[in-house]
Structure 1
Amino acid sequence: MLEKLPNAAETPSLEASLEKATDQAFKARATFEYQQVRKWVGSRVNLDEARILDFGCGQGVPAASFALRHPKARVLGVDIEPVPEQQLSNLLNKQIGCGIPSNVSYRTLSLTALSDEKFDLIYAWSVFEHVKEDKMIKIFSTLKSHLAERGILFVCCNPLYFSPHGSHLYKYFKSPWHHLLLTLDELREGVVSGDLLASETREWQQFLQLNRLTAQDIMGRASGAGLKRLRHHLTKTDLSPPPRLARLYDNEVLTTKELVAIFE
């Protein structure tokens, strides 16, 4: 079992180390995501002593960053795929000089396995674009059941499917709305090479499994699960949809690239 190192104290040196991190993807997940969540929930949740659930924690970086900044908090990251903890520990050591903090843990499980655990903050960053439409209300309902009294659910969906880069296939296509303009065969040819690389196959499957929900659809599913929306913000693109798409889709849907919302 991977040995966890003691927590790094919440000091200017930690923030300085994060600021100096050279891996930009790590920096975005460890700093930008944390700052955005804190900006939205900081006045409602005492993060210093909170029970925090990272729903869809991916490689585990954001959960670790919460735990590092708030040593008295208890942080749990869950995902359908196992978190590569040795790889995460190596990344943390390389980027900021510490290992996985002792107040964070990771599980590979369904939400039903959380039993009766309650959390003061649950956050889901770029998760609900991937949730199947017929399961979304059930998942929102389950998350609601794990919120403590006065607990907050933070949701960020970016990019939304109908937005310029809603395919999540950023590195393969540079033109906006490519997934709405090209045929499925043309898209696949642009992603999957003759070598059938595992990463390409995985990213193609991820695209195929994206839901087609709008920001309003997602907020509606949350309301359908009994969650009360406290605040939300829609971020727009500066790009103008091509005329062909403008004739087929609502402009609001095409130009809304991100939804951020909090619920109780």
Structure 2
Amino acid sequence: MKWMLKLQERISGLAPWDAQKITDEWFRAHFEYAADVVHQWMDGVLDMRTARFLNFGCGDGITDLSLVLRHGATAIHGVDIRREYAKLPRIAREQLGMARLPSALTFETIRPGASLAGKRALVDGIMSWSTFEHVQRDQLAPILADLHACLRPGGYFFLQIEPLFYSPYGSHLRRYDEVPWHHLLASEDELWQVIQNHDGPIDAAEVDFGFADFGVDGYKRFVFKEYQALNRLTADELVAFAQEAGFRLERQERRNVEREIPALLLESYPREWVLNNEIMLLLRKE
């Protein structure tokens, strides 16, 4: 029970952990890089040690675990439509030698589009890492409005998307296809054929802990369906949706790639779209 775990932590502290044990590159990227970015954006405006956080689209919870262990967060509630976070106790044991998760972490499975407002106390901060490109377009406005209602006045929301759809690898298929902008130049049938024909290792940093659940062929089908469901948001659209939901834009950073753009693309898409790979926003509720 949670109260027993909290009591144990008061007496003996958090379970020991050792980052030197990390061998998985997906884990390393989310435990180190992703958590550090969230901390850099949020720590200047909120006290990580006292703030209550909501992670919308928490995935496997690795970033949340790191924010507790490495950056002092004491209350993070992660929500997701999948239960990848259920693997976290095993992952933490294998990658950190950690016997139990911190009591600061709680997780919840939600239905797509389900309202969160009013079900828990208002939070001080919300974070979302590479999630909003997967939200159905007609759900963007209501979900952002709902998250606005979950945040206390004066609270902050860090929102990141990478890669954006029109960027070189915005298909999220780079595990199998290294041709930049291929999703904008080829048909779906041609893309699927490339994925089907792929035979060989996948970049270790791109293999999440759900891979084993699907198997090689099942994972190919899964990521292709994810590609087909992408909402194709641009950075400008994301900012507009957030502001329409009532958030004030405090800070933004757009990261572009440096590549020669095929002439054919520029006939159909603005240069900014095809070069803009990532957007990071810091939003505030008045």
TM-score, normalising length: structure 1: 0.90
Paired residue for 1:154? 158
What does residue 38 of structure 2 align with?
37
- Residue aligning to 2:265: 245
In 1, distance between residues paired with 2:144 and 2:162?
18
Find the counterpart in structure 1 of residue 236 from structure 2: 216
Q: Partner of 1:187 in structure 2? A: 191
Q: CA deviation at 1:69?
A: 3.5
In 2, distance between residues paired with 1:92 and 1:4?
16
Q: Shift of the alpha carbon at 1:78?
A: 0.4
Determine the structure 1 residue equivalent to 2:143: 139
Residue type of the alignment partner of 1:112:
S
Name the amino acid aligned to 1:218: L
Q: Given the superposition, is the C-alpha separation of residues 113 and 122 from structure 1 closer, same or farther in structure 2, using an over 3 Å criterion?
A: closer
CA contact (8 A) 1:164 1:257 kept: yes
For residues 79-125 of structure 1, the C-alpha deviation after alignment (integer angstroms, 9 at most, x for no partner) is 0012352x321211122121321210110014524514311111000
| Cα distance in 2, alignment partners of residues 113 and 163 from structure 1 | 32
Q: What is aligned with 1:88?
A: 88
Question: Unmatched 5+ residue regions in structure 1?
Answer: none
1:79 counterpart residue number: 80
Residue from 123, 126, 130 that aligns with 1:122: 126
- Kindly tell me: are residues 88 and 42 of structure 1, through their superposed partners in 2, closer, same or farther at Cα, counting changes over 3 Å? same
Q: May I ask how many residue pairs the two structures share in their alignment?
A: 259
CA distance in 1, matches of 2:197, 2:83: 27
Unaligned runs of 5+ in 2: 199-214
CA distance in 1 between counterparts of 2:216 and 2:193 reads 11
With over 3 angstroms needed to count, the CA separation of the structure-2 counterparts of 1:71 and 1:233, relative to structure 1, is closer
**Does the 8 Å contact 1:49/1:70 carry over to 2?**
no
Residue 248 of structure 2 corresponds to residue 228 of structure 1 = yes
Kindly state the Cα deviation for residue 175 of structure 1 after the two structures are TM-superposed.
1.1
Q: CA deviation at 1:167?
A: 0.1
Partner of 1:112: 115
Check 1:28–1:138 CA distance in 2 against 1; reply closer, same or farther (3 A cut).
same
Q: Distance in 2 between matches of 1:81 and 1:193?
A: 28
**CA distance in 1: counterparts of 2:24 and 2:278, whole angstroms:** 24
C-alpha distance in 1 between matches for 2:81 and 2:220: 19
User: Is the CA contact 2:234–2:273 (under 8 Å) kept in the aligned structure 1?
Assistant: yes
Distance (Å, rounded) in 1 between the aligned partners of 2:272 and 2:266: 10
Q: Which residue of 2 aligns with 1:201?
A: 221
Task: Give 1:150 deviation, angstroms.
Answer: 1.7
Distance 2:72 2:144 in 1: 28
Aligned residue identity for 2:279: L
Deviation digits for residues 162-211 of structure 1 (CA, Å, limit 9, x no counterpart): 00000000111001001001111101112246998221111111000001
Residue type of the alignment partner of 1:187: L
Question: 1:61-81: CA deviations, max 9, x gaps?
Answer: 112222334566111110001
Question: Once superposed, what is the RMSD of the aligned Cα atoms?
Answer: 2.6
Contact 1:83/1:106, CA 8 A, preserved across alignment: no
Distance 1:34 1:117 in 2: 24
